[in-house]
Chains A and B, each alone.
Chain A
């Protein structure tokens, strides 16, 4: 049983990383969005493996479902099909590669040395909505409430910036 889960995990991880790479590398934005959807699905599967069923469902509904569809719509509306070559100097590319590579090596080196503690007990209820709700409304009540401020700012800001004004530049 343990081994089978491990195989599933390896498979999922490989697909996740591949899909995530595709998001960045795909020339066509629609392909990018579609691979992002795949990535989200894989992440949801990871949630399930981590015993967080509710989060898995929410992730699919909200991200893979709603937000990605919105993304697709926007891209289709804007008709961003033709791919314009981004001009970046070789120096910048080299710098980015070096920094990214070093960070990757550092993270891998550090994570290889980590000894993960074995979970003490397994409780199937951990990922249930009640448990989540209890944690959210007891321990994390304050951040939960204050996140509303964040959403509010984002909402007000989005409306304000999105509104078309007199004399505004159009692209």
Chain B
């Protein structure tokens, strides 16, 4: 069974199926979604278990020809439907399934236009998974842009009072980022070729099965000596080929050899910078982060969960998979800048979080701060740093849904998220206070929880790095302290002391079974990954080793 295709199309088919159900089946929609998401999680858990940690490179690959465009004298573009997972994408796929399942449970609170909501929700699930498993840059871009549409409507239709503004802002920011990616993509396909297909088109071999490494070397040699007629070149978007400098046509725009310059800047460095900006919007990185607090505040709880839990991860994933793998030279050149921006995100996000009165806004800024660690770890280009960056992505993917669920719990009861609206909630809602404490402490980086591993190792990686100045690491460490500050201060203000609220205290009931069912597993997972970080490191290690060979 093509497992990755199933992971993408199971939710998509589910979405279409929901649309076909009659309106009278209203109560069933949420259960269908829940079952599909549970099935999705089961499938991706199976994927995790049968993943071979020893192998280097992509596993479970599926490749089909999709679009073949002839460009006359300029050869052919071949766009493939290519899927696969490796040590980087596997945790992300599993995380997606998990967060989507949690989001599906949380979506039970949606009471209007259920059919549209759950269809869009499943559509979102499919496109996000597609983003993580796509091996063709074009396919990635397609999912990357297409996921904006369900997200746009999910925020815009079921959001808070300023939902139109927030959803359009979210859309415009991400789209502006993605057009930069599109530009680089065009330059990339014009520069790179698929050696296997080219071997076929020049008649070096008759059959795809006869392609060996020798044949590929022959093709590389012929391309590098400009012996291949341009009309016979097969241009490609396949990330596996794009990451190999030997596949770039000499004298092409992005060839490592040619050294083309645009506006007095090396074309490759410029391309890296554009990709970086494109993904930095998604991550989000200060100063491109302003859409995030608005989107979070207006989005309904399950959508906040999904947004923080997975969509931000695509930015980080894009750094690894596309910006860094294709342009290692740019990554090295800009390393100090990236680390600086990472530290800026950490500190600026933390200071902003400190000053917020809206619980969701506070959490949104804490996300910005936590994503700064990903940048810092990535910029270090050390094994610890890169592993920690992936780890931080994963850990934040577990913890931020928890944080937003916590905010959602109180919002659902009183429709008020202001921090100064409550005091001493621990007395009427003890288990809520307990699980909030777990979420907060895990997020601020208490040892034993997953947050600690990601933050600690990314600081350590940056410290060991030759690219990152020490003062930046120190400033990043200061961000950790600030993080402790805003979480503890918030916890103290909301939960401790004498009970007081401006709302009717009778609505302040403790966690329901459904809420516990979401919070408890997430908390336990965070604890599990904090105590046994090896479960994740053993998967990412192999990938990181290969990844760092490029630098």
A adjacent to B, CB under 8 Å: no
Residues of A within 8 A of B (CB): none
Residues of B within 8 A of A (CB): none
